[in-house]
Amino acid sequence: MEITRDTVAVITGGASGMGRSTALALARSGASVAIADLNEARIAETVAELEALGVGALGVRCDVSRPEDIANLRDRTVERFGRVDILMNNAGILPLGSISAMPLAEFERAMRVNFLAVVCGVQTFLPDLAARGQAHIVNTASMAGTFAYEPDSVAYNASKAAVISLTENLALGLAPQGIGVTCLVPGGVATNIMEQVKVSGEIGDLASYVGAHFVMRTADEVGEMVVAAIRDNTFFLPTNPELVALLARRAADPDGFVHEMQDWFAAHQPA
């Protein structure tokens, strides 16, 4: 879709990391942006940065696990700008712990914030997006949702796998309404998500496999990728394109791939 001075975007988790960088990239393209976040100081800082780029900006404190907060975000955005053209469901948390140490409540929290908030965001904003005739949704998943490379983030991995499945369904179901859909699949990206970590039990080194096999991206790089994907109506957006070849190898020999991963972890266990 075309991004113009009339375009209005909404981004959850928009005051830091990939959300903030995407907000700024969209603003540089002329769009007005409403950001939602929990950190009020960062909201104010990001809104000031957006306004300095000469676009309309709105900051709303929003806990995405609360449907009423998402409804308020929608109402505030429409009241301010009169429309919504782009929705980026980006807010997330990172609970850590093995399957034996992770309480069920942490699985529920991960699914509520990382997955069900995406569902709620789409349901809440869909009437506004559909009214435009041309709109776009971006859902932030994770490389961790495509294959298991970190056993101590099992709840996070499962929630992000659910986002990928949901987003593929949306790409099929919403195309007749003129709504494009992008599944953002970050690998290693320098963000502040570690602030959202809650650890259950003992954990080992994190993301050692990804660190050894994939290049770390900056949040600003990802923001520019997202804007390009919106323009081009790209569905699958890995921040590391080499992920595609890895997933093809996994699909060709799932058992062999799992055994390969098991061998890698066994060889890289701390002494």
Split at pLDDT 50, 70, 90, the class of 205 is low
Tell me which residue range forms the domain holding 191: 8-241
Question: Is position 18 within any domain?
Answer: yes
Residue 156 annotated among the catalytic residues of the structure: yes
- pLDDT number for residue 150: 81
CA separation for the pair 264, 271 (Å, rounded): 14
The answer to whether residue 187 sits within a structural domain is yes
What DSSP string describes 184-209? EE--SEE-SGGGGEEE-S----SSHH
The pLDDT tens digits of the residues spanning 11-54 come to 999 999 999 999 999 999 999 999 999 999 999 999 999 999 99
Catalytic hit among 81, 156, 214, 236: 156
In angstroms, the CA 106 to CA 83 distance is: 36
In a domain, 271, yes or no: no
Q: When comparing pLDDT for 212 and 261, which is higher?
A: 261
Q: Is residue 58 part of a domain?
A: yes
What pLDDT was estimated at residue 211?
79
**Has residue 253 been placed in a domain?**
no
Average pLDDT of the segment spanning 122-145: 96
Helix (H, G, I), strand (E, B) or coil at 78: helix
Radius of gyration of the chain (CA): 18
**Total structural domains within the chain:** 1
Alpha-carbon torsion, ordered 249, 172, 62, 114, to 10 deg: -30
Provide the pLDDT for residue 28: 98
CATH (domain of 145): 3.40.50.720
**pTM value?**
0.94
Q: Is residue 226 part of a domain?
A: yes
**Composition of the chain by helix, strand, coil, percent to 5:** 50, 20, 30
- State yes or no: pLDDT of 201 exceeds 60: no
Does residue 3 form part of some domain? no
In a domain? residue 246: no
